[in-house]
Amino acid sequence: MTADPIEGDDTMKRGPTRRDVLGHAARGAGLVAFGGAAFYLTSKADADGVWVIDPEKCINIRLGATGIEACEECATNCVLPMSAVRAVNDFAKCGRCCICPGYYEVTSDTGPDGLPTRKLCPRDAIERVPIGEVDPEDPLNNFYDYFIDESLCNGCGKCVLACKEPAGLSSLRLEVRYDLCTDCNRCSIAMVCPEDALVRIPADPA
Ligand code: SF4
Ligand code: SF4
Ligand code: SF4
């Protein structure tokens, strides 16, 4: 891969800007987020199909479904002890908001730093990592990456429902993780999903 001329030339001379940092973070995190899924899909290419969540049907993901309780059927109905459905952050969409509505319980009391005092995730599965130097004089004007700890997330969907326009940018979504799912012939989540959002697709669409 050839070097990006901006990274290779200008950055060396002027030092990294916040935009540079954001660009690096987006590309690196995006590869992590999508590389794994692509690998597992490829590795299952000889299987007859895989279960996926249709984002236009799932009530936690689809646009327009707001002001409701998160559907937790994916978290509670998988045959596995810990659901094969997990939240993922699509870093290409994420605004790296200082006050992420998927991370914070935005209706909780505000602390002295101007930030909400409670987190939204009941399992504390989201890590908030500052991008670059945090300006202590201007705490609300910083950017953050949000990483899902897959060992803690059970796919309850609360963060996904909250990170939805107009409050968020819908970068958080739920996915059936191919590396975890045992490919039940009849997915037990599909049997209870109120939106018929669990669908079977060919493992190798080509
Ligand atoms: S059960 Fe259906 S509607 Fe509920 S979170 Fe899962 S896919 Fe979405
Ligand atoms: S889906 Fe639920 S458990 Fe997973 S990160 Fe979001 S709020 Fe936390
Ligand atoms: S197919 Fe089985 S293991 Fe996979 S998500 Fe559905 S219930 Fe869980």
Judge whether 9 lies within some domain: no
Domain contains 12: no
Where would I find the H helices in the chain? 5, 11-14, 18-43, 73-77, 158-162
CA distance 121 to 106: 12
The confidence score (pLDDT) of residue 205 equals 58
Question: What pTM, to 2 d.p., does this model score?
Answer: 0.79
What is the SS3 assignment for 82-101? CCCEEEEECCCCCCCCCCCC
Would residue 136 count as lying in a domain? yes
Integer-rounded Cα Rg, in Å, for the chain is 19
Give the model's pLDDT for residue 34. 38
The answer to whether the CB of 50 is under 6 A from ligand 3 is no
Count how many domains the chain has. Answer: 1
Give the pLDDT confidence score for residue 66 in this predicted structure.
Answer: 85
Whether 148 lines ligand 2, by a CB cut-off of 6 Å, is yes
**Whole-number pLDDT of residue 133:** 87
Which residue among 52, 54, 59 has the greatest number of ligand 1 atoms within 8 angstroms of its CB, and so is best to mutate? 59
- Does 2 fall in a domain? no
- Please identify every stretch of the chain with a pLDDT value under 70, giving residue numbers as ranges: 1-47, 205-206
pLDDT of residue 206: 58
Q: What residue owns the CA closest to ligand 3's atom 8? A: 78
Residue 142 resides in a domain: yes
- pLDDT of 147: 98
**Tokens coding 187:** 């997915």
Q: Is residue 46 part of a domain?
A: yes
Instruction: Give the range of the structural domain holding residue 37, as residue numbers without chain letter.
Output: 17-201
Alpha carbons 93 and 77: distance in angstroms, whole number: 29
